[in-house]
Amino acid sequence: MRLYTAGASHRRIFEETGIDRRRVIGIFTRCVATHEDGEMWGFRACRYYSHTTPYKRVSPQLGETRLLSSGHSGLLLATLDRFPNIAEALDYEILESRKRGFAESAIRYDKLHALFLRKCKEVGIPANAYPFTVASQGERSLTRWIKKRLASLGSRKLAKVMFGDEVARRLGNENAPTRVGSRLKCLERVEFDGHRIDVMMTMFIPDPTGGEPVAMVIERIWLLAVIDASSRAVLGYHVSLARNYTAEDVLICLENALLPWQPRPLAVPGLKYPEGSGFPSAISELAFARWGEFAFDNAKSNCSKWVWDRVRDVIGCALNPGPVKTPERRQFIERLFLALEQNGFQRLPTTTGSSPKDIRRRKPEEKAVKYQVHLEEMLDLLDVLIAQYNALPTSALFGRSPLEYLRFSLDRNSFFVRQIPEDEREAFCLTVLREKGIVRGNLKRGERLYVRYEGVKYYSPKLSSSPNMRDQEVIVECRTRDLRKIKIFTTNGDEFGVLDASQAWAAQQHDLRVRKAILRCIHQGKIRRRGEEDVVGAYIAHKSRESGRIKKARNELAHALRVRRHPTPKPATLEHTSPPPSEPVLARVSAPRVKVKVRAFNF
């Protein structure tokens, strides 16, 4: 072929190789044919026993007995060429059947062979013809044809057809695209996700008859965490007691990642923080430190407009929700959850295991009551486990722990730290919600002016003495973890003042989730709206009565007690402090923005 393509004559080629002119042209035709990979055959066509075109049977079937073990080559392809309806039916069953509403999860060769025989009978193939005249009835040939048909689809589609969507998804995201450029710097990208902890725990429910508190099993809780992709350090976490975490839980987790960390007063005997453990926010240079990119999945709570607005406006970072159903793009947060389960919760006798078939799952609810594994004790253990995770050396950081790597990077000034300004730290809060409201009231009937928010009226002496505010539109700003007070702004940008909730709602601290749950109970007639001096206390008493038979009520009760037990910063921080009279006022306070345009990227 080199001589022929160089322009040598057929006489010279015959003298040097002994191959005549006709054979040379035939080999050249095979070499320039197109291969299955899209390229020319080239010198591959010059090897012995290489076929550039598939075998096609020309002669008819040789025998009509099942005992004949040879002479069947190409009969299957000849049958499919003669009856294309059979090939179409097989293709549909292999490629399209799983798109229907109800179908088998994966293909089976025996079922396809039965379909092949049924179609052969439908098209009129007699019993004395192929495939009914061979011992296997064409099963082996059909299996080889199906495998070759699937191989032509590509690896990902082949995995989807053979093993399901989950295997195809993993195969397609096994090697996630890497960023072009240098290694990620610290706090350049953080990952966020939620995980349901694989352990059962209890809480003590007050006995309605006045006896000793009873230990009741609650539903599994959610762990939300934020981790730095460069240093692998867990910046902060939050535990949600609901059946599914909400947008408010996401914001609380992000707030915990920014606020300085304080060790918990551990109540478990013998449990203590290892030496050198902790969180990055305990380092003064990294307290209130912002990050550059926020990577998360496409859960509804994560994609809430409230979350996106607060992250963009307060933290000032890019939003990256990532492709759908691709946890491999957030490998560090997934590895954190795996390490916490394997090294912590799945070692406890009350673990639920990784699945219902896990051998470590041995009546976790009964053992949770037997050993009285309290919720607060599990929260202590969780805090210690995450603090210890930040102090474990890893080979990815050249033998350093995440905290040591952060300190090493700080000493070398290898990354720039963006911190929240000092004048904003005292009243820093991410769970701030702003909505429009209208001042209502009727002076003729002696009704004070008020603003209704989430089914509750809010008053203030200043608002009551401002009749010109009636029927005026205002902007309501509240901290959702304490709804006893709200702040309102006028439409021209001036701050009006702080309003207090009505007496029945101001007795105990409650958050937005508890407020909605109380209103739902009032609507269902389980709690009286009027005549109650403490609506939150009535709700807690109602949930205490329901906890004996409803597991969901125990989580709701635990959440309400937790909000009441752990107060947020004093509401006095909501009040606006104007500058001293001696200092010039450069600009008036602008009204908070309600509608914003969100920009994000996805890769």
The 3 state secondary structure assigned to 177-218 is CCCCCCCCCCCCCEEEEEEECCECEEEEECCCCCCCCEEEEE
pLDDT for the residue numbered 593: 47
pLDDT for the residue numbered 172: 62
pLDDT for the residue numbered 493: 81
**Residue 306 to residues 158, 248, 462, 506: CA-CA distances in angstroms?**
41, 9, 30, 25
Q: Report the C-alpha gap between 116 and 79 in whole angstroms.
A: 11
Helices (H) and strands (E) in the chain, counts: 19, 15
Instruction: Quickly count: other Cβ atoms within 10 Å of residue 327's Cβ.
Output: 15
| Residue 3: its H or E element | helix 2-5
CA gyration radius for the chain?
A: 36
Cis peptide before 269 (omega within 30 of 0): no
CB within 8 Å of 576: residues ≥ 6 apart: 487, 495, 589
| Residue 255: its H or E element | helix 247-258
Q: What are phi and psi of 444, to 5 degrees?
A: -65, -35
pTM: 0.73
- Residues counted in the chain: 603
Using CA atoms in the order 374, 378, 384, 388, what is the torsion angle rounded to 10 degrees?
150
Using CA atoms in the order 190, 195, 199, 201, what is the torsion angle rounded to 10 degrees?
90
Crossing angle between the packed helical segments 109-122 and 84-91, to the nearest 10 degrees: 150
pLDDT for the residue numbered 587: 42
pLDDT for the residue numbered 288: 94
CB within 8 Å of 54: residues ≥ 6 apart: 77
Q: Report the C-alpha gap between 481 and 241 in whole angstroms.
A: 14
3-class SS string, 30-96: HHCCECCCCCECHHHHHCCCCCCCCCCCCCCCCCCCCCCCCCCCCHHHHHHHHCHHHHHHHHHHHHH
Q: Are 273 and 384 in contact (CB under 8 A)?
A: yes
Q: Report the C-alpha gap between 368 and 366 in whole angstroms.
A: 5
How confident is the chain (603 residues) per 10-residue block, as mean pLDDT?
A: 90 90 90 86 87 78 57 83 88 69 66 89 87 85 84 68 66 54 79 93 74 82 95 95 92 95 90 93 93 92 93 92 82 93 90 86 88 90 95 92 94 92 90 92 85 93 90 93 93 90 90 92 84 85 86 88 69 36 41 45 46
DSSP letter string over 456-475?
Answer: EEEE-HHHHT-GGGTT-EEE
Pairing of strands 447-453, 456-459: antiparallel
Q: Report the C-alpha gap between 258 and 277 in whole angstroms.
A: 18
pLDDT for the residue numbered 36: 77
243 sits in the region (left: phi over 0; alpha: psi -120 to 50; else beta) called alpha
**Residue 317 to residues 6, 311, 328, 556: CA-CA distances in angstroms?**
63, 7, 22, 33
Tokens 């040879």 correspond to: 70
Q: Report the C-alpha gap between 548 and 545 in whole angstroms.
A: 6
| Residue 453: its H or E element | strand 447-453
Q: Are 344 and 385 in contact (CB under 8 A)?
A: yes
CB within 8 Å of 340: residues ≥ 6 apart: 223, 382, 385, 386, 389
The separation between the first and the last C-alpha atoms of the chain, rounded to the nearest angstrom, is 48
CB within 8 Å of 114: residues ≥ 6 apart: none
